[in-house]
Structure 1
Amino acid sequence: MYQVMVVEDEQWIRSAVVKMVEQLGGAFEVVAEACNGEEALQTIYQVWPTIVITDIMMPIQDGLWLVREIAERQLPIITIILTGHNEFEYARQALRYHASDFLLKPILEEELSNALEKAKAQIPQFHNLRHYYLSIQQLFDKIVDYDAMALFKEQARIVNCILDATDLQENEKGVLLRTFSSKYNDLIQSMQPDFTWLPFSVGEEVSAHFLKLTEEWLQCYNALNNVEMRQIIRKVCDFLQAHYQEEHSVSDITQRFHISVSQFSLLFKKYKGQSFINYLNSLRIRQAKHMLVDGELKVYEVAEQVGFQSLPHFNRVFKQLTGQSPNEYRKWLNV
């Protein structure tokens, strides 16, 4: 199964593309949606889609920015561009960043199917790298849960796995280690703005470089005022409880509560045991269950009232969290 993410700020277009992909069935499954490039990049690091279908023109960060970020970070993801008649030059620029294809709006199902098949043919080039990227991401997902000794051991394990890998070319090892180093540097700098970046060079002593980064992270994290951070996370949760039906992105929340995105993402997961997106979805699905049991609203009306912008997205999240579709849930309760 190939995991697809759809990025489009116009909800009706996003829903239409999601529906097309799901109707194709077979090898493709929509696992996430986003309404701008910034939200998409944050979501990528949570769900790791195989293929990203993205619009060009979007608010905050557009599709060209997203495609460039995916290419420059050398993420193991194939991109497909959606474009309008007057955006052709942007699409050409996206192709420079290795976009697989671009589709002209309005999108035809046959053209989307062909583009996905073309993207699928390119996926084997990332087969070896994907496992290592996921290992790196899992370390950062859990980094606040490690004590110092466990973190040193896990970091060293990942580095040694990359260095000793027989299924990787030397240039691929360099890409992975640079990515690992960049993510560490980004994380530390987001928590400590005056931190001096520690660039990675393939010729240097690799173990010493990552040992230094781990030491820097531990010093930075231990210096945080954790009492203050707990209070911020508590205020965020109170806000979401009252406003779960509204559309929220991580960037919206961090601006409202004056905290960096990296700090927020790490600490939210530490104190709540799940990501911001999963927490918000859990709130929405909990409320949706009450509405479904009540029986007065149609499923699409429930989806709208709890904050989902598309019915397919609501159905997908509901089944992920409950093991049943909304209609199956109603039948199970004889509603």
Structure 2
Amino acid sequence: MYQVMIVEDELWIRSAVAEMVEAGGTYEVVAEAGNGEEALELIYNVWPTIVVTDIMMPGQDGLWLAREIFDRQLPVITVILTGYNEFEYARQALRYHVSDFLLKPVLEEELHRALERAQDRMPQFAHLRPFFVAIQHYLDKMTDMAPEELFAGQARLVQRIAEADSLQESEKIVLFKTFSGKMNDSIQAMNPSFQRLTVEGNRPESIRVHFQQLTEHWQRYYNALFNGEMRQVIRKACEYIQAHYAEDLSVPDMTRRFHISVSQFSVLFKKFTGRSFVNYLNELRIRQAKQLLLEGELKVYEISEKVGFNSLPHFNRVFKKLTGQSPNEYRRAMNV
């Protein structure tokens, strides 16, 4: 099954596109975003094979996202949705190797033809994808690693990239820059005054020293941050989420309430709970939804609203992703 991300600021359009994508069972929507910046961050977490993005959105738009995917040489195929008045603007994305342009409102048949054409372009990224995924896997596990494992894992990953016969030298440089950039981002999340370190040249020794230094900085700042009062901040944040899960919660809302930066909150929340904020919130909401489904008094759309989902299709997708069943299938299986 091919994995797809939908990027669209209008929730009802996003839900409609997601339903069309998943019709037929060939494609799975693994993430949704409301603007380009949010989408780029999610790409590094879920690694979709195809991104379907609107062109005009608040903040960073679809053209910006297409350019970032192209410049960073990410192994992702981009399909753009555009309104009639935006079509010429959208055509600028041709230079970023966009696979297709679809005029809104898009028909399901047109969308699936575009997804099939995107599939044809996937082999060009097949050799790169495992390395990008390995980098993200390491970054995701950093907060769970003992210091010895942290340094040994980083060294193995750097060596794996450096010695890969399947990669051209230019591709190795892209991977090292991606790895370095994400580590710098993680360090700055904990200490905004940190001066970023850049990869100097492509000599194996200089690359080894560069990542050794980044790992040392990360370990130092992480220890100082997590062993302090921030642990109590995250505990209080979890208690707040458990009491207010049915409300419209977001990371920016939480960081304003608890006086912590978005980056610090994301790093520490993942360490404390083992999950991202979105996954933690969704799992809590679905647990509550299952209880309400078992009670049998409310309709599915009423339960969706009661546990905090603004869209019934979104609730259905999240429920099925976490349980393997739709809400109605779950009810039938429980003989309710």
What TM-score comes out, normalization by structure 1 length? 0.92
Q: Deviations over 1:7-59 (max 9, x none)?
A: 11212211211111111433x22122222333323322322111111112223
Structure-2 separation of matches of 1:323 and 1:121: 29
1:331 is the counterpart of 2:332:
yes
Counterpart in 2 of 1:33? 32
Structure-2 separation of matches of 1:76 and 1:254: 32
Counterpart in 1 of 2:76? 77
Any conservation in 1 of the 2:55–2:81 contact (CA below 8 Å)?
Answer: yes
Which SS does the other structure have where 1:328 is aligned? helix
Any conservation in 1 of the 2:3–2:50 contact (CA below 8 Å)?
Answer: yes
Structure-1 separation of matches of 2:220 and 2:10: 43
How far is 1:181 from its partner? 0.9
Structure-2 separation of matches of 1:318 and 1:197: 40
Structure-2 separation of matches of 1:225 and 1:319: 34
Instruction: Quickly say closer, same or farther: Cα 1:94–1:306, change in 2 above 3 A.
Output: farther
* Identical positions, percent: 66
Counterpart in 2 of 1:263? 264
Structure-2 separation of matches of 1:176 and 1:297: 50
Any conservation in 2 of the 1:24–1:113 contact (CA below 8 Å)?
Answer: no
Counterpart in 2 of 1:221? 222
Any conservation in 1 of the 2:52–2:79 contact (CA below 8 Å)?
Answer: yes
- 1:1-335 pair list within 5 angstroms: 1-26=1-26, 28-204=27-203, 205-224=206-225, 226-335=227-336
Instruction: Quickly say closer, same or farther: Cα 1:6–1:225, change in 2 above 3 A.
Output: closer
Instruction: Quickly say closer, same or farther: Cα 1:188–1:287, change in 2 above 3 A.
Output: same
Any conservation in 2 of the 1:68–1:97 contact (CA below 8 Å)?
Answer: yes
Q: Deviations over 1:306-325 (max 9, x none)?
A: 22233333223223322332
Any conservation in 1 of the 2:320–2:327 contact (CA below 8 Å)?
Answer: yes
Which SS does the other structure have where 2:73 is aligned? coil
How far is 1:137 from its partner? 0.5
Which SS does the other structure have where 1:5 is aligned? strand
Any conservation in 2 of the 1:38–1:61 contact (CA below 8 Å)?
Answer: yes
Q: Deviations over 1:152-211 (max 9, x none)?
A: 100001011111112222211111111111111122123222222211134342111111
Which residue identity lines up with residue 97 of structure 2 in the other structure?
H
How far is 1:221 from its partner? 1.6
Uncovered stretches (5+) of structure 2, i.e. residues with no partner: none
Any conservation in 2 of the 1:54–1:80 contact (CA below 8 Å)?
Answer: yes
Instruction: Quickly say closer, same or farther: Cα 1:97–1:255, change in 2 above 3 A.
Output: farther
Which SS does the other structure have where 2:148 is aligned? helix
Structure-2 separation of matches of 1:149 and 1:331: 50
Any conservation in 1 of the 2:52–2:78 contact (CA below 8 Å)?
Answer: yes
How far is 1:215 from its partner? 1.1
Q: Which 4+ residue blocks in structure 1 deviate beyond 6 angstroms?
A: none
Which residue identity lines up with residue 95 of structure 2 in the other structure?
R
How far is 1:148 from its partner? 1.6
Structure-2 separation of matches of 1:83 and 1:59: 14
How far is 1:89 from its partner? 4.1
Uncovered stretches (5+) of structure 1, i.e. residues with no partner: none
> Relative contact order, CA 8 A, sep 6+: which one is greater?
1
